[in-house]
């Protein structure tokens, strides 16, 4: 009796999951493409936009799309397991934003052994046999953010940088770009604090900066979540609008903060294009068409003038 | 009236069912595992039972099952080791750095293992010499120290490229039954897992040290009166746990051909989950290495099956939570049955 009850519970749970699974009901499309992101779309609007771009494109082109992501951007092992399991299922192409620049290389070797093309989006990897890298020129974006602060302060005064997960190449490039641009125009970078790309830690880092370096009048944060956290800290100190905060990604909430004046600017990537170009070029590869080695998805400086279109 | 009557009826029912409860407790875990395999075979007939997928699972669970084994030894003494995930990351980076400093492969592996044993020794001594009130504290401290050291040593960037002799342990297959008509390519890392579990089983059940470890977890007072050297045995389990985390790091480094500083972040919770699913008690003195092994396999099956079904990781976390509840509930039933029997 006990056995039956437990059997019942486990079976029920698995059946419920099977019903929840979108992949099960996939049609008879010719190709299945895996989009493996660093984080789940429901956790970060950026990944949600990548996913939307990929889904819209896959639907328009009539290919199956499987979207998977590890629970956290640092969970390399989970991403490896997900990709391996999909290789075992013989997806036709892999579009991946890797959680580590090289730790997944052996996994991609397995894909290569099965003649599955691998395209990198958002974050470039060190894997030699990649088909292409589709993403933002993060350094150029960082320079763009740094130059905005240069212009705002006419090249004089103290600024600080809030960095993200520094193991991530895209974050490092942004910080490098911003640091170089600000140093070049004469601004002093007096602090560089890590906040793990996390909002609460961004707030905390900003609180520390306000305490230890009160002269700081500009902040470059390597993503918007940290910038929004920093804006919160500045608001709590009653310094709203006096410290200019520049973020990166132009997520809707950041665009609203720019409109309301708690943030000064953000550098927009085009995550939708990453998903879109990812699926388009995977399909090009599968149909034996040529694919460029590097595909730029572009950056735009978002300020009060153009924030409205990013705010929804 | 009713209040007095209710328990007695209940007791009779439970008493009548006691033997089946006890059997369920013993074989319940294996049953859950087999059931999961059956369901996955039905839901994913084309993929689940392929050799490629099964070796994938074996490789995927290798590092977690080794972390869980060390965690298990600690939990038998009613302790906890929160540092295993960080120690695994530290061992990976130490290995990668040593290799890149042109150390001989054997030396690099040895120093990675030493890093694990060293942190384990610190945990053990903090508990027995510094008399920190609970192992939670010492290992929470070393969790942070080891992770910080990992970032400092690596400069926050992955260190990639390991020689084949180092990679082999985590990445390669060995051909078993090569001469026969049924050659099987078996992941070396999973063979190591099996060997380590056997060694731990022998240590815990066939040696006086093992009996002492169980005794300490069962009742520290009684163990003390029986003349068991508690500090020495406690230090030993933490050293074992650290050393096993070091081995897990060496295997994972081989598997990914790299040491990356975020490796093993949060892995201690997966290890603890495997131990709990495997039937060990947080209050110490109970549990078997075999149970923990099945616990780790159940977790691996769950992840693999849900990955094959393209299920979001959030559902995977929800399911893992339910499996933990189910496993512990099974254990509660068994204990109740055993109390009624005696």
pLDDT for residue B3 is more than 50: no
CB within 8 Å: B308 and A80: no
* Rounded Cα gap, residues B250 and B238, in angstroms: 18
pLDDT for residue A197 is more than 60: yes
- Phi, psi dihedrals of residue A270, rounded to the nearest 5°: -125, 80
CB within 8 Å: B53 and A85: yes
Q: Which residues of A touch B14 (CB under 8 A)?
A: none
CB within 8 Å: A7 and B31: yes
CB within 8 Å: B333 and A165: no
Residue in B with minimal Cα distance to A89: B47
Domains (ranges, CATH) in chain A? Answer: 30-136+270-297 (3.40.50.2300), 138-268 (3.40.50.2300)
Amino acid B69: pLDDT: 97
Residue in B with minimal Cα distance to A66: B310
| Whole-structure pTM value | 0.78
The mean predicted confidence, pLDDT, of chain B is 88
Task: Identify whether the C-beta of residue A85 lies closer than 8 Å to the C-beta of residue B304.
Answer: yes
CB within 8 Å: A72 and B171: no
- Band of residue B308 on the pLDDT scale cut at 50, 70, 90: confident
Give A144 or B50, the one with higher predicted confidence.
A144
Of B28, B31, B312, the CB nearest to A40: B312
pLDDT for residue B4 is more than 50: no
Helices H / strands E in chain B, number of each = 13, 4
CB within 8 Å: A77 and B311: no
Amino acid B331: pLDDT: 75
Average pLDDT over residues A201-226: 92
Q: Tell me the shortest Cα–Cα distance from A156 to chain B, in angstroms.
A: 31
- Band of residue B19 on the pLDDT scale cut at 50, 70, 90: low
Residue B295 CA from chain centroid, whole number: 8
CB within 8 Å: A88 and B52: yes
Measured in residues, chain A has a length of 312
Cβ atoms < 10 Å from Cβ of B340: 15
pLDDT for residue A200 is more than 90: no
* Rounded Cα gap, residues A169 and A166, in angstroms: 7
Q: Tell me the shortest Cα–Cα distance from A47 to chain B, in angstroms.
A: 14
Residue B128 to residues A19, B77, B108, B123, B219: CA-CA distances in angstroms?
52, 13, 30, 9, 17
Q: Which residues of A touch B54 (CB under 8 A)?
A: none
Residues β-bridged to residue A94 = A34, A118
Amino acid B1: pLDDT: 43
pLDDT for residue B2 is more than 50: no
C-alpha closest to that of A91 among B314, B307, B61, B317: B307
B interface test, pick of A68, A85, A107 with most B CB neighbours within 10 Å: A85
Of A21, A81, A99, the CB nearest to B310: A21
Task: Tell me, yes or no, if A19 comes closer than 8 A to chain B by beta carbon.
Answer: no
Q: Tell me the shortest Cα–Cα distance from A103 to chain B, in angstroms.
A: 5
C-alpha closest to that of B77 among B141, B135, B150, B117: B135
Q: Which residues of A touch B56 (CB under 8 A)?
A: 81, 84-85, 88
CB within 8 Å: B156 and A167: yes
* Rounded Cα gap, residues B198 and A122, in angstroms: 45
CA pseudo-torsion sign B228, B232, B233, B234 = positive
Report the percent of chain B where pLDDT is more than 70.
Answer: 91
Give A46 or A153, the one with higher predicted confidence.
A153
Average pLDDT over residues B40-57: 88
Of A89, A102, A166, the CB nearest to B258: A102
Between CA A64 and CA A68, with CA A66 as vertex, the angle to 5 degrees is 170
Q: Tell me the shortest Cα–Cα distance from B28 to chain A, in angstroms.
A: 8
In the 8-state DSSP scheme, what is residue B50?
S
Residue A1 to residues B11, B17, B23, B24: CA-CA distances in angstroms?
17, 9, 12, 10
Q: Tell me the shortest Cα–Cα distance from A23 to chain B, in angstroms.
A: 6
Q: How many Cβ pairs within 8 Å bridge chains A and B? A: 151
CB within 8 Å: A78 and B303: yes
- For the ranges A149-153, B58-62, B179-183, B212-216, the lowest mean pLDDT is seen at B179-183
Amino acid B114: pLDDT: 98
Terminal alpha carbon distance of chain A: 55
DSSP string for residues in B146-189: HHHHHHHHHTTS-EE---HHHHHHHH-EEEETTTSS--EEEEHH
Q: Which residues of B touch A1 (CB under 8 A)?
A: 17, 20
Q: Tell me the shortest Cα–Cα distance from A241 to chain B, in angstroms.
A: 34
CB within 8 Å: B313 and A103: no
Residue in A with minimal Cα distance to B46: A89
pLDDT for residue A107 is more than 90: yes
Residue B265 to residues A71, A76, A225, B244, B260: CA-CA distances in angstroms?
12, 9, 21, 16, 11
Amino acid A25: pLDDT: 43
Of A6, A22, A104, the CB nearest to B32: A6
- For the ranges A246-250, B243-247, B336-340, the lowest mean pLDDT is seen at B336-340
* Rounded Cα gap, residues A179 and A11, in angstroms: 55
Domains (ranges, CATH) in chain B? Answer: 35-341 (1.10.3470)
Chain B contacts in chain A segment 67-96 (CB below 8 A): 67-72, 74-78, 80-82, 84-86, 88-89
A interface test, pick of B67, B171, B260, B315 with most A CB neighbours within 10 Å: B260
Q: Which residues of B touch A103 (CB under 8 A)?
A: 158, 160, 256-258, 260, 263
pLDDT for residue A12 is more than 80: no
- Band of residue B201 on the pLDDT scale cut at 50, 70, 90: very high
Average pLDDT over residues B1-22: 53
pLDDT, tens only, B159-175: 888 899 999 898 888 88
Task: Identify whether the C-beta of residue A227 lies closer than 8 Å to the C-beta of residue A255.
Answer: no
CB within 8 Å: B309 and A18: yes
pLDDT, tens only, B62-106: 999 999 999 999 999 999 999 999 999 999 999 999 999 999 999
Q: Which residues of B touch A21 (CB under 8 A)?
A: 309-311
């Amino acid at each position: 009796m006990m056995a039956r009850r437990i059997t019942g519970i486990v079976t029920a749970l698995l059946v419920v999951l099977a019903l929840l699974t979108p992949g099960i009901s996939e049609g008879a499309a010719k190709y299945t493409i895996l989009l493996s992101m660093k984080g789940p779309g429901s956790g970060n609007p950026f990944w949600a936009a990548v996913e939307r771009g990929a889904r819209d494109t896959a639907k328009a082109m009539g290919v199956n799309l499987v979207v998977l992501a590890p629970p956290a951007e640092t969970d390399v092992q989970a991403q490896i397991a997900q990709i391996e399991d999909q290789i075992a299922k013989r997806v036709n192409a892999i579009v991946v934003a890797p959680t580590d620049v090289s730790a997944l290389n052996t996994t991609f070797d397995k894909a290569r052994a099965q003649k599955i093309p691998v395209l990198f989006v958002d974050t470039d990897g060190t894997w030699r046999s990649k088909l292409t890298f589709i993403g933002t020129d993060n350094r150029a974006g960082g320079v763009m953010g740094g130059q905005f602060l240069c212009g705002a302060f006419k090249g004089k005064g103290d600024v600080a940088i809030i960095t993200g997960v520094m193991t991530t190449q895209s974050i490092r490039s942004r910080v490098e770009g911003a640091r170089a641009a600000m140093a070049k125009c004469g601004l002093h970078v007096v602090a560089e604090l890590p906040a793990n790309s996390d909002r609460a830690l961004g707030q905390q880092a900003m609180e520390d900066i306000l305490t230890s370096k009160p002269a700081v009048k500009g902040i470059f944060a390597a993503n918007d979540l940290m910038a929004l956290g920093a804006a919160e800290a500045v608001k709590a100190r009653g310094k709203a609008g006096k410290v200019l905060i520049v973020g990166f990604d132009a997520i809707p909430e950041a665009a609203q903060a720019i409109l309301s004046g708690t943030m000064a600017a953000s550098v927009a990537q085009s995550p939708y294009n990453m998903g879109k170009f990812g699926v388009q070029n995977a399909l090009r590869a599968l149909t034996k068409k040529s694919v460029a080695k590097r595909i730029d998805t572009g950056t735009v400086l978002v300020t009060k003038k153009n924030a409205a279109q990013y705010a929804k | 009236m009713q209040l007095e009557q209710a328990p007695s009826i209940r007791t009779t029912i439970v008493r009548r069912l006691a033997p089946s409860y006890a059997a369920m407790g013993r074989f319940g875990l294996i049953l859950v595992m087999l059931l999961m395999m059956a369901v996955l075979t039905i839901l994913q007939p084309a993929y689940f039972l392929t050799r490629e997928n099964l070796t994938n699972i074996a490789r995927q669970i290798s590092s977690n099952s080794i972390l869980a084994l060390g965690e298990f030894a600690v939990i038998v003494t009613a302790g906890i080791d929160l540092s295993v995930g960080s120690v695994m990351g530290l061992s990976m980076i130490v290995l990668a750095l040593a290799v890149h400093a042109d150390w001989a492969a054997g030396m690099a592996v040895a120093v990675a293992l030493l890093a694990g044993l060293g942190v384990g020794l610190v945990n053990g001594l903090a508990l027995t010499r510094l008399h920190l009130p609970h192992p939670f504290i010492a290992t929470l401290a070393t969790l942070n120290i080891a992770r910080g050291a990992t970032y400092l040593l690596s400069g926050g960037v992955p260190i990639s490229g390991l020689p084949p002799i180092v990679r082999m342990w985590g990445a390669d297959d060995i051909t078993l039954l090569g001469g026969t008509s049924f050659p099987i390519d078996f992941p070396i890392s999973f063979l190591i897992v099996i060997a380590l579990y056997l060694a731990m089983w022998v240590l815990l059940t066939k040696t006086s040290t093992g009996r002492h470890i169980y005794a300490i977890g069962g009742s520290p007072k009684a163990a003390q009166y029986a003349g068991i050297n508690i500090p020495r045995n406690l230090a030993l389990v933490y050293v074992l746990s650290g050393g096993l985390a070091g081995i897990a790091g060496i295997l994972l480094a081989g598997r990914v051909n790299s040491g990356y500083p975020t490796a093993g972040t949060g892995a201690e919770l997966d290890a603890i989950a495997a131990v709990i699913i495997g039937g060990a008690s947080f209050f110490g003195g109970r549990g078997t290495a075999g149970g923990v092994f099945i616990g780790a396999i159940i977790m691996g099956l769950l992840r693999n099956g849900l990955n094959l079904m393209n299920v979001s990781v959030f559902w995977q976390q929800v399911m893992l939570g339910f499996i933990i509840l189910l496993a512990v509930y099974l254990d509660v039933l068994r204990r109740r049955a055993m109390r009624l029997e005696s």
